[in-house]
A and B are shown apart, each in its own frame.
Chain A
């Protein structure tokens, strides 16, 4: 008895912070966000995973599906195909992207602005476009068919070229960033120590950007590995995992096997994602040192060589989009090369009329607006919320997940989850709503990271000052946080819009006859052999994305002039 009283006397009562009004409101919003992320990310993935352990009747059968999968040579082969083709294409793209980025950042090559502009073109087009273009170049009736020496473009060759085309800007962006972050003093030291140029390259340049290169490698690999558009159009009979899911689900209605293939696709993607995150953490440590910016010095031979190299690559990109544009304007390839606009008369095509184009615009706008609100406010709660670190960490972790989930997998997971009549959210199935939700979710992570970066750059004491002035957090959010982060907010909405316009993989399982989309129409037109219509529709997407990019640039410029009095620089 006396021992108990002694212990009680010794124990110091801990201070339990009172949960203030702001905290309650924030936690309420966090709960709303958590519910959204549960419904949009976790539950569908869980249902999909459990489906892979079930038979058609819905009974649990353990690993039997996987056993069947790995004992079916045709299926197993596509896993192998996906792996080695993605690895091969990644190495190819990385090589090109590195030289291209080096030319942009470390040399005095002329016309840099032009090469930057051209390199961004593939971002404006669905990955399908490169496939269509390749058919016109190298297909059976292609203009440059004989360049392949009898090899068929339908298959690995087409997939490698097509994939390289559309992932190139993604790889380039990361490598350019890595090469831009350098300390000129290192090079001055190398010169002072009379280090040869080549040795400097291997002892200073490469180590300085190695994390960026590794990261770009993983991103490129994952993009190609999980891509559906290119292998669908140009793959022919060459099977890849992403096309297998499509065939299992759409062709054979074998949802269980679709789930199994999804898991096989998900595992390497998640692994690549985890390694990439680890690598990027190290990259941050490199960034934080205060460095003197590097200014390249002219060197005639090198600059000319770079100009030639970049011109060849830029020509390749222009040839790709140029051919798609040409094909869209041709009457009847290859017999009647007269120009016409009739290929834009989509209502005559099977696979989706003008309606699908306008559906895409609507979907992309909804995604951009709603997605940006959810993503930015969510990141704000994670970064600037007070206390309740469990909830904030959990939301951050779930927000990182979509980056590792291939679109095909997400789309299939949505079928399993939302198509279940017992699901209270069943009403969104086959509507515009589900398309918006899946697209926001699919591209959530990059937006989340952009928002987090912008928010982290803000003084962490804004919220403290605002609390000391007894200002509700919403007021400071609206009056300070949003205006200061507006450039990042615009970037996020632009990113969502472009991806919503061009994405195929997640939405291909989820559209209905009322909600056909332009990108899916390209796919279906191609399926029906209406290649000219497909090219024209792909170009419509490209014009729209290009227009949106220009608009975004103008708005950003106006914004910067309007706010330059308070923004430094």
Chain B
């Protein structure tokens, strides 16, 4: 079968999930490699959690197949699958201590008491909670609870670790810290991991590959750099990071026209006259010192400046662009050096290789 490489650990084919007439997942196909850290990223309601729950067997799909480690698990109940899971709420058993929570899954497997004890100690050390094992979940901070949930999920050494928005209940600082911890833990254990998140920063920093989803379909699968640098669809471009979208037309092969301005860029196989959306990230708009006879250069006027700490988000207008405005990120250095303020005029360059084109209706 196509796409079945040797190192494919989880193979999802034509997965569809319907709730009544609502299609939550629309024929999803996806391969996940062994030891890989994959993030399902998308806005709420895009189907990412539904997909995770289907993989876990908690909400079994309407149709389609899932194979894990070569075994067809499509219709198995969760207890017959091989995974550990951490929920957004952690779902720690409130009446059991940290120690008992972690050993919960070990106790009903035929493992000797000594081995369980050793394993729990090892796990407690792994998540840095060895001095907290007599405490109850309510006595721990959010970050500590999260680590207990993680330890409990990996206690039985499952082949697949599922994380359902594991960081979204935490404070911003703890979240950033735990991102790194989870990632390094995952690397050390080498466990194939799927994390669901709506936080693009989380996905970009943690994932080996990101699966961007919208309306029950996969929009793009790729490394964080691919997703950010070469968003496949205008949805991905808009959802991840910030993007300027302006209406334009293909002028000729290798050139697009926006207002009266012409930019050189890769137009692929699109014919002249095709209406398109031209996209470029604010940080990719470069301020120039002087107008050279370079291509993709336009003269702009600063209409508004928004101070955002290390940089300013600047709104630019240009006579050649008509009513269309562009947002550009100019570093504090640049703003200082060029003494920019509202009303300043300067030339900017839109590098052709960083311009993305998306089809536009009409």
**In the complex the two chains form, is A14's CB within 8 Å of B62's CB?**
yes
A20 at the interface (CB under 8 A from B): yes
B45 at the interface (CB under 8 A from A): no
- A462-B93, A469-B104, A470-B105 as given contacts; A12 in contact with B14, CB under 8 Å: yes
**Residue from A20, A464, A466, A469 having most chain B Cβ neighbours under 10 A:** A469
Measured between C-beta atoms, what is the minimum distance from B22 to chain A in Å? Answer: 16
**In the complex the two chains form, is A465's CB within 8 Å of B91's CB?**
yes
**In the complex the two chains form, is B77's CB within 8 Å of A18's CB?**
yes
Q: Is the interface of B mostly helix, strand, loop or mixed?
A: loop
**In the complex the two chains form, is A475's CB within 8 Å of B75's CB?**
no
**In the complex the two chains form, is B94's CB within 8 Å of A484's CB?**
yes
Q: How far is the CA of A565 from the CA of B139 in the complex (A)?
A: 8
Q: How far is the CA of A492 from the CA of B76 in the complex (A)?
A: 37
Q: For A471, what are the chain B residues with a Cβ–Cβ distance below 8 Å?
A: 79, 104-105, 108
Indicate which residue in B85, B96, B156 contacts A480 across the interface (CB closer than 8 Å): B96
0 or 1 for each of B14-56: is its CB under 8 Å from A? (1 = yes): 1010000000000000000000000000000000000000001
A566 at the interface (CB under 8 A from B): yes
**In the complex the two chains form, is B75's CB within 8 Å of A15's CB?**
yes
B248 at the interface (CB under 8 A from A): no
**In the complex the two chains form, is A23's CB within 8 Å of B77's CB?**
yes
- A17-B75, A22-B77 as given contacts; A468 in contact with B108, CB under 8 Å: no
- A15-B64, A471-B108 as given contacts; A464 in contact with B136, CB under 8 Å: no
Q: How far is the CA of A465 from the CA of B16 in the complex (A)?
A: 24
B83 at the interface (CB under 8 A from A): yes
Indicate which residue in B14, B56, B96 contacts A468 across the interface (CB closer than 8 Å): B56
**In the complex the two chains form, is A459's CB within 8 Å of B63's CB?**
no
A467 at the interface (CB under 8 A from B): yes
Q: How far is the CA of A12 from the CA of B18 in the complex (A)?
A: 13
B16 and chain A: residue at smallest CB distance: A12
Which parts of B76-104 form the interface with A (CB within 8 Å)? 76-81, 83-85, 87, 89, 91, 93-96, 104
**In the complex the two chains form, is B79's CB within 8 Å of A20's CB?**
yes
**In the complex the two chains form, is A566's CB within 8 Å of B138's CB?**
yes
B61 at the interface (CB under 8 A from A): yes
Q: For B91, what are the chain A residues with a Cβ–Cβ distance below 8 Å?
A: 459, 461-462, 464-465
**In the complex the two chains form, is A15's CB within 8 Å of B95's CB?**
no
Q: For B104, what are the chain A residues with a Cβ–Cβ distance below 8 Å?
A: 466, 469, 471
0 or 1 for each of A452-476: is its CB under 8 Å from B? (1 = yes): 0000000101101111111110010
0 or 1 for each of A469-501: is its CB under 8 Å from B? (1 = yes): 111100100011001100000000000000000
- A14-B63, A18-B80 as given contacts; A470 in contact with B109, CB under 8 Å: yes
Q: For B64, what are the chain A residues with a Cβ–Cβ distance below 8 Å?
A: 12, 15
**Residue from A15, A470, A471, A472 having most chain B Cβ neighbours under 10 A:** A15
**In the complex the two chains form, is A483's CB within 8 Å of B95's CB?**
yes
A194 at the interface (CB under 8 A from B): no
A563 at the interface (CB under 8 A from B): yes
Q: For B136, what are the chain A residues with a Cβ–Cβ distance below 8 Å?
A: 565-566
**In the complex the two chains form, is A16's CB within 8 Å of B75's CB?**
yes
Which parts of B87-144 form the interface with A (CB within 8 Å)? 87, 89, 91, 93-96, 104-105, 108-109, 136-139
A13 at the interface (CB under 8 A from B): yes
A17 and chain B: residue at smallest CB distance: B60
Q: How far is the CA of A19 from the CA of B74 in the complex (A)?
A: 12
**In the complex the two chains form, is A472's CB within 8 Å of B77's CB?**
no
A10 at the interface (CB under 8 A from B): no
B153 at the interface (CB under 8 A from A): yes
Q: How far is the CA of A507 from the CA of B91 in the complex (A)?
A: 44
How many Cβ-Cβ contacts under 8 Å join chain A to chain B?
107
**In the complex the two chains form, is A468's CB within 8 Å of B78's CB?**
yes
Measured between C-beta atoms, what is the minimum distance from B99 to chain A in Å? Answer: 13
Measured between C-beta atoms, what is the minimum distance from B90 to chain A in Å? Answer: 8
B66 and chain A: residue at smallest CB distance: A15
A473 and chain B: residue at smallest CB distance: B79
Measured between C-beta atoms, what is the minimum distance from A361 to chain B in Å? Answer: 32
Measured between C-beta atoms, what is the minimum distance from B26 to chain A in Å? Answer: 12
Measured between C-beta atoms, what is the minimum distance from A481 to chain B in Å? Answer: 10
A56 at the interface (CB under 8 A from B): no
Q: How far is the CA of A18 from the CA of B137 in the complex (A)?
A: 34
Indicate which residue in A15, A17, A469, A568 contacts B105 across the interface (CB closer than 8 Å): A469
B79 and chain A: residue at smallest CB distance: A467
- A18-B80, A461-B91, A566-B138 as given contacts; A469 in contact with B96, CB under 8 Å: no
Measured between C-beta atoms, what is the minimum distance from B92 to chain A in Å? Answer: 8
B58 at the interface (CB under 8 A from A): yes
B152 at the interface (CB under 8 A from A): yes
A290 at the interface (CB under 8 A from B): no
A281 at the interface (CB under 8 A from B): no
Q: How far is the CA of A467 from the CA of B58 in the complex (A)?
A: 9
Q: How far is the CA of A268 from the CA of B91 in the complex (A)?
A: 44
Q: For A567, what are the chain B residues with a Cβ–Cβ distance below 8 Å?
A: 94, 138
Q: For A483, what are the chain B residues with a Cβ–Cβ distance below 8 Å?
A: 95
0 or 1 for each of B163-191: is its CB under 8 Å from A? (1 = yes): 00000000000000000000000000000
**Residue from A22, A459, A475, A484 having most chain B Cβ neighbours under 10 A:** A459
**In the complex the two chains form, is A472's CB within 8 Å of B63's CB?**
no
**Residue from B61, B74, B104, B153 having most chain A Cβ neighbours under 10 A:** B104
Q: For A484, what are the chain B residues with a Cβ–Cβ distance below 8 Å?
A: 94-95
**In the complex the two chains form, is A461's CB within 8 Å of B89's CB?**
yes
Q: How far is the CA of A567 from the CA of B93 in the complex (A)?
A: 11
Which parts of B144-164 form the interface with A (CB within 8 Å)? 152-153, 155-156, 158
Q: For B139, what are the chain A residues with a Cβ–Cβ distance below 8 Å?
A: 565-566
Residues of B near any A CB (own CB < 8 A): 14, 16, 56-58, 60-65, 74-81, 83-85, 87, 89, 91, 93-96, 104-105, 108-109, 136-139, 152-153, 155-156, 158
Residues of A near any B CB (own CB < 8 A): 12-23, 386, 459, 461-462, 464-472, 475, 479-480, 483-484, 563, 565-568
New A-B pairs, 4, CB < 8 Å, besides A13-B63, A464-B56? A14-B62, A15-B62, A464-B78, A563-B95
- A selection of 15 A-B contacts at a CB cut-off of 8 Å is A15-B60, A15-B62, A22-B77, A386-B77, A459-B87, A464-B56, A464-B87, A465-B85, A465-B91, A465-B152, A468-B56, A468-B158, A470-B109, A483-B95, A566-B96
